[in-house]
Amino acid sequence: MKTELNKLSPLARRDFIMRTAQTALGVTVMPALNLRAAAAAPGPGYGKAKNVIFLWMNGGMTHIDTWDPKTGETKGPTAPIKGKGGIDYLGGTMTKMAEVSDKITIVRSMSSKTGVHDAGTYIMKTGYEPRGTIVHPCMGAWASHFLGRIKGVTLPDSVIVNSGSAFPGAGFFPPASSPIPIANPQTGLQNIKQTSSELHFKKRVSLMNELDDSFRKKYQSEEVKAYTEFYDETMKLMKSEDLKVFDLAQESADTRAKYGNSSFGQGALLARRLVQSGVRFIEVQFGGWDMHNNIDQALGGTGQTMDSVFATLIQDLAATGLLESTMVVMGSEFGRTPDINQNSGRDHYPLAYSTVFAGGGVKGGFVYGATDKDGRRVADKQATPMDFQATIGHAMGLPVDEVVMSPSNRPFTVGDKGTPLLDIFA
């Protein structure tokens, strides 16, 4: 039976499995047979983004002071400024982004149930609410699963910049799908050089393989195989010429100055270099957005840095011809309260917030959705973190409806059945 099943085409096998599950278990394991891609075009923007740069604003970015400014009682400390194209206004500190706003789409109708930092981060980066029994993959790992390893380079498929960990990482996918963390873009990839001579290094590797050999033969599982491949890939990377991409000193002083000396600016520059070298998914983190106190002062530092770096990255990608195939995404755990608190700041607010998209087939000068006049509630086209993840996956050409079974035999999809925001694509 197994031999006959393997002779079927992939779609036929899925059809057989679905019908068997429906008959035996009363469930559907492949929604709508997952024939969307075969039956019809998957929609605008599909597969346009060969690379993604995910700019993560850690702490909860205030939507009213950046992408969704108001003029009433909840308005920010500085007056809104005009944008370009269909972008009516931006927050008062977004002067540089106003100049390139004809190249971005703002989604002003994000809404979530989660107002806690860790849980908000998790759901925005995976499309799933945290569960104690499983860790869900980040988008870079999903892309590696569906699209396979990047051919022709020894660099990893995904990288996280300004982070000491790869949270949430590969999730239930093999460890080789995990993003490599870069704690500091100025110093690049650390601990990659061998600490002994080539001869001693080879002897150590040979001894390790000899000790592991019996274990590998006895336990021939996918998990053991995955870890073996992970170590093999790491040793290839250690000797690769591709490592030069992490050396920002190869950029001109003028280019480095345009991005600024902040870790976020240099991280964005590194992200551009990684895109040029073929890395598929790069996340660049930037903290300082937990503005419970003195938001005016905080925006003068954190807000202006984000504004300048984001605009520089868009201009750089456009100038090098990479913006068309590179999607730049900006997101945060949640928004911040429309009302200023007693400490002249804003508190956590998941009911309404904004995200931003640029490049990778996305419309320029476009606004998707809206909040009410005070920025308290979504008034039009509500979008969820699941939709946010599904939109990125759709742009990368991933089959976001396809069910993948985890090692614990549980079904998952990109973005937990979220719906791609197709209106934002040209």
3-state secondary structure string, 103-157?
HEEEEEEECCCCCCHHHHHHHHHHCCCCECCECCCCHHHHHHHHHCCCCCCCCCC
pLDDT band at 188 (very low <50, low <70, confident <90, very high): confident
Q: Are residues 367 and 84 in contact, defined by beta-carbon separation less than 8 angstroms? A: no
Highest mean pLDDT among 187-201, 237-251, 266-280: 266-280
pLDDT band at 254 (very low <50, low <70, confident <90, very high): very high
Report the mean per-residue pLDDT for the chain: 86
Distances from the Cα of 400 to the Cα of 37, 224, 309, angstroms: 10, 28, 31
Check whether 164 has a pLDDT greater than 70: no
The C-alpha atoms of residue 119 and residue 348 are separated, in whole angstroms, by 13
Check whether 32 has a pLDDT greater than 60: no
What pLDDT, on a 0 to 100 scale, did the predictor assign at position 202? 61
Q: Which of 78, 75, 82 shows the shortest CA–CA distance to 101?
A: 82
Burial of 417: CB neighbours in 10 Å, binned 0-12, 13-18, 19+: middle
Which has the minimum average pLDDT: 159-163, 193-197, 206-210, 338-342?
193-197
Task: Assign a CATH topology to domain 51-188+247-424.
Answer: Alkaline Phosphatase, subunit A (3.40.720)
Q: Which of 132, 138, 177 shows the shortest CA–CA distance to 156?
A: 177
| Unique residue bearing structure tokens 């009911």 | 351
82: three-class secondary structure by DSSP: strand
pLDDT tens digits, one per residue of 114-139: 999 999 999 999 999 998 889 999 99
pLDDT band at 148 (very low <50, low <70, confident <90, very high): very high
pLDDT tens digits, one per residue of 340-368: 999 999 999 999 999 999 999 999 999 99
Q: Which of 5, 134, 138 shows the shortest CA–CA distance to 405?
A: 134
Which has the minimum average pLDDT: 218-227, 302-311, 331-340, 371-380?
218-227
pLDDT tens digits, one per residue of 221-231: 666 565 566 55
Q: Are residues 420 and 400 in contact, defined by beta-carbon separation less than 8 angstroms? A: yes
Check whether 153 has a pLDDT greater than 60: yes
What whole-number percentage of the chain has pLDDT above 70?
77
